[in-house]
Amino acid sequence: MMKHTVFLTFFIALTGLSAHAAGYDDKAMQVKEIRLSNGLTVWINEDHSLPKVFGAVVVKAGAADCPNTGIAHYFEHMMFKGTDKIGTVDYEKERPWLDSISAKYDLLAQTADETTRRQIQADINRLGAKATEYAIPNEFSNLVSRYGGSGLNAATSLDYTVYYNTFLPQYVDQWASLNSERLVSPVFRLFQSELETVYEEKNMYSDNVLMSAYERVMENFFSGTPYAYPIIGSTESLKNPRLSEMQGFYDRYYVAGNMALILAGDVCADSIKPLLERTFGRIRAGEAPARSEFTPVSLASQPEVRLRIPYPIVKGELMAFRTPPHGHADEAALDIAVRLLTNNFGSGKLDSISNNGGALMATAMTAALKDAGITFVAGVPSLPFGSRKKLMRRCMEQVDKVKNGDFGDSDLQALKMEAGRELKRKLEDADKRGWMMVEAYGNGEDSWAEYLVREQAVENVSRDDVMRVARKYFNNEYMDFVKKYGSYPSDKVSQPGYKPMPAKNITAQSAYAAMLDSMGHKDVEPRIIDFDRDASRISLGRMAELYAVKNNVNDVFTLQLIYHKGKVADPRLGVLESYIDALGTDSLTSQQLRRALQNVGSTLGFSAGNNSFTISMQGFERNLEPSLRLLAHFLSSVKPDKKQMSELKRAWRLNDMAFVKDNSSIAKAALSKIVYGDKSAYLNRVSVGDVKKMKPEELVSLFDSLQNVQLSVVYCGSRDAASVGQEVSRLLPVDKASELYTDTYKPLMQYDAPTVYILDNPKARQTVVATYTPLAPLPDPNGRTCLQLWSRYFGGDMSSVMFQDLRELCSFAYYAYGTAELPSPVLHADAPVGFTTMMGTQADKTMDAVATLDSLFACMPVRDKNMSDARRSMLNGINNSYPSFRSIGQTIALYRAQGYKADPDAALAESLKTVTDEDVYDYYNKNVKGRPYILIIVGDKSKLDMQKLSKYGKITELKLEEIYRM
């Protein structure tokens, strides 16, 4: 999912930008490239600014290497199941059962008769139960957590697969051992349950109406190529997996010469190679075969493709052009050509159409895959009578201007600088650099240094280059996609009737785990934010403060004006967020404003949160003063615009259309209604009817009134705090505040009896099940820690009870998690607390999933090892989520506004030392076990057994209007 934010711009000739980009910090540029003896590529970026490491393994094998089979994605899931040493109590005894299961799956794939298939599936289930007698579910993820890891995950793309997490540097030996072992000898255990999980994932995607449209775009545009097929594979492939094919995929692609190890953070690049040789050097040598070349179908004279999207009234069109793959010599010039059409300043030629109220959306985007590229121009005309054809004609007229060189030199230079600034931001901390390295290697780069040279090639792009590539690629050969009202039929994947796997060894430990325990490591206290040292704090007036953090990495500044009032206090701020972004001032049109900010290299954005409204600016340090002047002008002189207000009203209606089509969004609204009652954000939102009644002047007046609210100014740059404070006080209206931070506390609802709430959504393939348990107040810090630790143990991550029992053993859910609902301990320590859960399950599994969750609440399994891992996971999270230098000022400002005198994680870390496992179990037994809870089910009611559901409480049906204000 991507969220696109349109930024604003301003006055025409304040200061121009030079064509060169300022030098990058050495730390950001230096990546040590190592080749191990087996041919494995290693890229290491050494950065000791924070005590954590981002580690990843990238394999150049994705969905395009096994088109429409889903094998690459299957394999990614199976890489969490362990090896012949991890995840088993006795592999030699387990192996014959696994071999028999593999043979049965091959037989299943060859069998069409349904009666015979059901018999084979029953055999697989029986054999799986035998194999599970030796399996230790989730041991790999448990060990990662035990040894300093957090954020463990993986992702499969069309071109590559990546396995990653963040870890504490003192556990680098254990991390290297674990992550190399999983690549040396993976074992495909618990395959049956994981296959059901993949079904759930496909169901989840199928309930996203835009995902189906996206798949049709790829299918048609890339017809004749491996990119035409979905990553997850076809339903037919899902029903007929072959473990032998998965083994073949591993043998073919998971070789040292086809993968890279990425490390970014607190490691020593000069001394780590011997450890990597001992661990990752064991991976089987070899080079993967080159991907077969393909020739896409010609787009010339292709018929128009109709995309079915179930939004009435809305029109839309997408013109897709074939553009070069990643690393092509034309890539930099094409990037600038697209930026001339759509950019973060909002000053592009297509942006101007939207800015002037001529469309709901007019945009261009480009994507370069390893072997092909796609660039599209898309438009959504104004509702309800805007002309799609006229809009697209206007869009292509703007494209022609780029082709003909109808753009200023200042625009060209500014957009090149924008690209340079974006690159600097990507390179400025270890996590971002780590992900850049992942994407670079995964997309076919053989050298980080050469990749950076190509990334910086945009500096040398000329006007002629832009015109040349625009003429070359925006030609008459394109594919036209036009929105049509309707939906695509859903594939049917029914529950095969598998019985849950036994949990015999869920608390066991392998010999390999014991070996890791014997490795030496040094326990280090998690890093805690220091409010006084980590950001300079200066008073700017009655209720305004500056938080300044030094940027020693590059010449990019960021500035945030955080007004401590959000959507909870005034829901209209959510409307303002969308509206203010499109306005100009009393002396500058919206487009002039955007171009002026472009000329000084700065962007402007607006964000409405629950507790605050933030105006964000970023730009180059040398242009801080003119950027602040532009911001000051906007703050004092913003002008209402009737045309933009009309477009906003239409867009608000479109948001409602999207909401009612998304089952997960409906479920979140239903849960919010149960937890907060009439104070639910979904019921207190501004409705379409409310927006229709609004006048432009009302929203501008609301924007003006924000300047009277308690303010935190957060700056990150190379200047000292005192000088920045003087500049901000001199140029911005920071001394007007008279309204203190608005407390946004919403009391949690209390219930006397268990109740079942059902919201019928017959078109949903996946049912969302949620629960809410009201709990007594916890004024004592240790009591709150007990709830937080129990919440992590019961529903927090891959080691949690919910994940293991509902997903791993029973295959009832793709996601399953629980969250503690804790009001502020500073402002509302004596208020009731609560606990919520949520899971997504295939409709015909709903009753089994509900019954299993109920049994976990009633008789929670006690697994001391998992409780220990949950404790360690919480400590890891404190350290590994420590903010980067760019965001630490904002973190401190928001904490202080809510009354915190110190980082709340400090108290949590101390409390975790004194709260025992028995304290946590005792909390569950006294406060959760046997306590009535509220059950919420959103999905196809016809799949539910009402008689069975009635045992969980009185059944009440919810209507959409009861949970969401339309």
Which pLDDT belongs to residue 819? 96
Spatial contact of 417 and 21, defined as CB atoms under 8 Å apart: yes
The encoded tokens of residue 12 equal 């025409």
Q: Could you give the CA distance from residue 755 to residue 662 in angstroms, rounded to a whole number?
A: 24
Q: Could you give the CA distance from residue 391 to residue 483 in angstroms, rounded to a whole number?
A: 14
Q: Could you give the CA distance from residue 723 to residue 727 in angstroms, rounded to a whole number?
A: 6
Region label for 289, one of left (φ > 0), alpha (ψ between -120 and 50) or beta (otherwise):
beta
Bridge pairing between strands 161-167 and 544-550: unpaired
Q: Could you give the CA distance from residue 729 to residue 737 in angstroms, rounded to a whole number?
A: 13
CA neighbor of 619 nearest in space, from 13, 3, 22: 22
pLDDT along the chain (966 residues), means of 10: 26 27 50 96 94 96 94 92 95 95 90 90 90 92 92 95 96 96 92 74 75 91 93 83 89 97 95 97 93 82 89 92 95 97 94 86 94 95 90 96 96 94 93 95 92 91 97 94 88 66 84 88 86 96 94 96 95 96 94 94 96 97 97 97 91 88 94 97 95 96 95 97 96 88 89 96 92 97 97 92 90 90 94 97 91 96 92 92 95 94 95 96 96 96 95 96 94
Report angle CA 694, 696, 702 to the nearest 5 degrees: 85
Q: Could you give the CA distance from residue 771 to residue 752 in angstroms, rounded to a whole number?
A: 15
What sections of 735-882 are H helices per DSSP?
Answer: 781-795, 801-802, 846-858, 864-880
Spatial contact of 848 and 514, defined as CB atoms under 8 Å apart: no
Q: Could you give the CA distance from residue 786 to residue 796 in angstroms, rounded to a whole number?
A: 14
Spatial contact of 674 and 749, defined as CB atoms under 8 Å apart: yes
- State the CB neighbour count (10 A cutoff) for residue 960: 15
Return all residues near 738 (Cβ < 8 A) that are at least 6 apart.
542, 543, 708
Region label for 350, one of left (φ > 0), alpha (ψ between -120 and 50) or beta (otherwise):
alpha
Which pLDDT belongs to residue 492? 63
Report angle CA 761, 766, 769 to the nearest 5 degrees: 80
Describe the strand order of the beta sheet including 603-608 as a list of residue ranges: 536-539, 544-550, 711-717, 556-563, 613-620, 603-608
Q: Could you give the CA distance from residue 135 to residue 94 in angstroms, rounded to a whole number?
A: 8
What sections of 188-296 are H helices per DSSP?
Answer: 191-206, 209-221, 235-239, 243-253, 273-279
Q: Could you give the CA distance from residue 134 to residue 386 in angstroms, rounded to a whole number?
A: 64
CA neighbor of 864 nearest in space, from 819, 912, 916: 916
Q: Could you give the CA distance from residue 917 to residue 124 in angstroms, rounded to a whole number?
A: 38
Question: How far, rounded to the nearest angstrom, does the alpha carbon of residue 839 sit from its chain's CA centroid?
Answer: 18
- State the CB neighbour count (10 A cutoff) for residue 946: 10
> In residues, how long is the chain?
966
- State the CB neighbour count (10 A cutoff) for residue 925: 11
Return all residues near 493 (Cβ < 8 A) that are at least 6 apart.
199, 202, 203, 235, 238, 239, 842
Q: Could you give the CA distance from residue 792 to residue 76 in angstroms, rounded to a whole number?
A: 25
Residue that has been written with the tokens 């064991």 in this structure: 282
Is the Cα torsion angle 188, 191, 195, 201 positive or negative in sign?
negative
Task: Considering only the C-alpha atoms of the chain, give the largest distance between any 2 of them, rounded to a whole number of Å.
Answer: 81
Region label for 451, one of left (φ > 0), alpha (ψ between -120 and 50) or beta (otherwise):
alpha
Amino acid letter at 458? V
Q: Could you give the CA distance from residue 435 to residue 27 in angstroms, rounded to a whole number?
A: 16
| Beta-bridge mates of residue 163 | 57, 154
Residue that has been written with the tokens 């009896």 in this structure: 753
Which pLDDT belongs to residue 495? 59
CA neighbor of 345 nearest in space, from 589, 732, 619: 619
Residue that has been written with the tokens 């835009």 in this structure: 210
Q: Could you give the CA distance from residue 167 to residue 876 in angstroms, rounded to a whole number?
A: 8
Which pLDDT belongs to residue 170? 93
Spatial contact of 162 and 56, defined as CB atoms under 8 Å apart: yes
Amino acid letter at 525? E
Q: Could you give the CA distance from residue 80 to residue 154 in angstroms, rounded to a whole number?
A: 9
Q: Could you give the CA distance from residue 631 to residue 9 in angstroms, rounded to a whole number?
A: 10
Q: Taking the model in full, what pTM does it have?
A: 0.92
N-to-C CA span, the chain: 24
Q: Could you give the CA distance from residue 833 to residue 668 in angstroms, rounded to a whole number?
A: 19
Report angle CA 594, 600, 602 to the nearest 5 degrees: 65
Q: Does an H or E element contain 523, and which?
A: none
